[in-house]
Structure 1
């Protein structure tokens, strides 16, 4: 008999739906099985009686009586079949089916941010215009996620299962630490900035190790990897809702504001983009930011249009 046929007969037997002919086949199989595996099934006679009693109590109803000898044979068969890798359940048990691993995809629009907690306890702060792909649970010898955009990771420590972030051509590997990854598609650089712990950043061409207040930058055009010390507070301003500009051209300022607030800017005079801005904004409304800019640059004006567009008019007079 095949494995499925044997399992089917055993289930019928335990459910009380087996026919006489099928029961005869099963008993013949039991006899052959016992003759080959009699040794080692039970530790002793006491063990044999205890198993038989447990099976009788768990499976047989009050209206059904089966001889002790038959239950001993059933117990032996179950023990042997379990050793051979068969899985049998009594009618009072429920089969536990392991749920498949599901890939979760979380995306933020421009102007949105999102806090996530992964299955291992890792905390993630997802910046605007970003996508994180991760499983509903981590299995195997690695915790693997994929990032497009920017996110700050506070990774739960697990020395036996490294946490790996795929971001384009760069793979960041940690055991338990906190760091920032910036990998927006429209940027030709992928930057990893470490807050705590130690991080390995690798591409096909090279790899570097980063410690707190260090930033690794991979250039997607030259395929080169560099490392430098940075002010981690400034690098993580976005996480706290702070925007800081230090002598930055207005064109670059507007690009940042587009991502931060989910709007788009139109320059009436392209030369206005060369104006330089130095300012900090701590969780301010967009209208407050715009008033600050036109106050500092007297020749500029702005106008809110439809579809989240803002028109910048005039020119810098500084």
Structure 2
């Protein structure tokens, strides 16, 4: 081991109080020998942190030598050596600082935030990049307090995004098993854990939807296009729609355009907190259209659906409502 490498190791142990008697004696001798090199150029002014470390090295060495003098009263240290000791401590500082300040910095921890909504609750929030998000009922958005090179968030439930344009920093939404990538656009995503369906509706701009396991298979959507897929496997089921009908919920209204009855029922559950049961698979797939304002009561909505689609809503003993 080279002298400077050994000095670095011994100084580190010394400052931690772990140096052996032999190592302390070697270090003292090394410092005194380094005093002969006091004429060396020690470099530019050190920082405040380096000054503190230098003082700590100097004080610890001084304390050790004084302690040894007390144990050996006959031993004298020439005044020149005290001056050399300071120079040697400065040189030792360079060795220690090279190890201390060049250590890999620990990765910065980015604070994460989560916004959640409950039944019947809508929430509007602004992300750190000025992107505006409307969060539908029974939904959750997880995002960092500050964005890095990639603006990435996680969504469970339904949300409408008005993404702030920034071509250098793409915006990525992870929802269930899929990712939606955009540069600047307005669109909504619905991906409830209790549902088997995944839906992306684009109001303006362009988005790409893909499975992270195979990002080469990306489905592109433009304004007034909608992707409907199963949660477990991305399917290229794209259709043209009137986007406003599928994003009206952010204003409190409910708009349905040939949506499956089970999807309509889920929207009613999120709005009113009433649980429904559909035991007939064919009935669950019944296409339903309609428009309801946020002032409409659930009883009124059920009456209209019953009259138009010949449905029956029957309360059960446990408080649910069966549809048949």
TM-score in terms of structure 1 length: 0.61
Q: Which runs of 5+ in 1 are unaligned?
A: 13-17, 61-65, 89-95, 314-318
1:284 Cα deviation after fit? 1.7
Alignment pair present for 1:213 and 2:250: no
| 2:192 is the counterpart of 1:191 | no
**Alpha carbons of 1:142 and 1:250: their partners in 2 closer, same or farther (altered >3 Å)?**
closer
User: Unpaired segments of 5 or more residues in structure 2?
Assistant: 1-5, 57-61, 63-81
Which SS does the other structure have where 2:43 is aligned?
coil
1:74 aligns with 2:89: yes
RMSD: 5.2
**CA offsets, 1:209-229, max 9 Å, x none?**
333333334445774314444
Task: Please list the CA deviations of residues 190-214 of structure 1 after superposition, one character each: whole Å capped at 9, or x if unmatched.
Answer: 2222344432212337212333333
Q: Aligned partners of 2:261 and 2:223: how far apart in 1?
A: 31
Q: Deviations over 1:272-298 (max 9, x none)?
A: 99999754233225357448738966x
Q: Say whether the 8 Å CA contact 1:258–1:265 is kept in structure 2.
A: yes
Q: Distance in 2 between matches of 1:11 and 1:2?
A: 14
Q: Secondary structure at the match of 2:250?
A: helix
- CA distance in 2 between partners of 1:272 and 1:208 (Å): 30
1:144 paired with 2:152, answer yes
- 1:86 matches 2:100: yes
Change (3 A) 1:188 1:31: farther
More helix by share: 2
What is the rounded CA distance, in whole Å, between the counterparts of 1:211 and 1:248 in structure 2?
20
Decide whether the 8 Å contact of 2:153 with 2:174 is kept in 1. Answer: yes
Aligned to 2:51: 55
Superposition TM-score, scaled by structure 2 size: 0.61
Matched, 1:129 2:144: no
C-alpha distance after superposition, 1:239-290 (max 9, x if no partner):
12110235778776444312222112469xxx99999975423322535744
- SS state at 2:121 partner: coil
SS of residue in 2 equivalent to 1:209? strand
Shift of 1:237: 0.9
> What is the CA–CA distance in structure 2 between the aligned matches of 1:79 and 1:130, rounded to whole Å?
55
Does 1:233 pair with 2:238? Answer: no
CA distance in 2, matches of 1:28, 1:110: 75
Distance 1:249 1:97 in 2: 51
Q: Distance in 1 between matches of 2:205 and 2:305?
A: 42
1:166 equivalent in alignment to 2:174? yes
> Which is further off, 224-233 or 111-120?
111-120
